[in-house]
Amino acid sequence: MGSFSKVGVVGCGLMGAGIAEVCARAGLDVVVAERDPAAIASGRSRLIDSLDRGLRSGKLTEQEREAALHRTSFTSELADLAGRGLVIEAVIERYDDKASVFKQLDQVLADDAVIASNTSSIPIIDLAAATSRPQRVVGVHFFNPVPVQRLVEVIPTQLTSPEVTEQITTFAERTLGKTVVLARDRAGFVVNALLAPYLVSAVRMLEAGVASAEDIDKGMVLGCAHPMGPLRLLDLIGLDTAQSIAESMYEEYKEPLYAPPPLLRRMVAAGTLGRKSGRGFYDYTV
């Protein structure tokens, strides 16, 4: 169980590139699908930069870097993923985009292939419903940066076959060397169900003028021994992604503590998305 030798990844942003990297470094044949040549070039550059960081830090050798690149190919056609035993979707955190990918994958993959989603918060059953094989759909949620973070949440739905859950768990643990927690198919799963209200509470605190961004973050780092304050963490995650997670969880639970605060919405509308845009709660251009 768990022996997928040919893996597909849809999306090569921060998470997709990381997933492709850990699969390639584990010796798997990886095909990455992106929407157009520009996105492919950006994704390939992101993957190479990460491998180069690993090389500089001594986490992998030059030979291992070259082997990982050799095992990874790129395409703009989802049809080129035919023949993959496992495809992991890692596109933007919006239901319509993800469901469209699932619908297309369902048409091109073999009947026994597994389709997984790296969604942070969207219920997996909603994505499985876009396919004719809900028993072979599962959530497999990695954490950023994927090559460094050890945790993977595996999320079966009420329709996912036990064999697929076992297969994906074994794959994540034995093939990729990750630590797995199993979560019920509820928006946010384990980690984001706890993390999201904490992060949006920090935004509300800043919005209310309780303290500066620097002091809010300093308080959690020095007062609670967190490795990073909540506002810097939001900048790392991406404010648009954080807003999507909060919206998904509010839609599921209707709890006010999950709702994205007005300041978060305004910053996303302004394009100040965090590190990836050069500015969020902090300025990364200086």
Which amino acids are annotated catalytic?
120, 141, 153, 192
- Pull the structure tokens for residue 121: 């918060």
How crowded is the C-beta side of 60, counted as CA atoms within 13 Å?
Answer: 22
Residue 9 in contact with residue 32, Cβ under 8 Å? Answer: yes
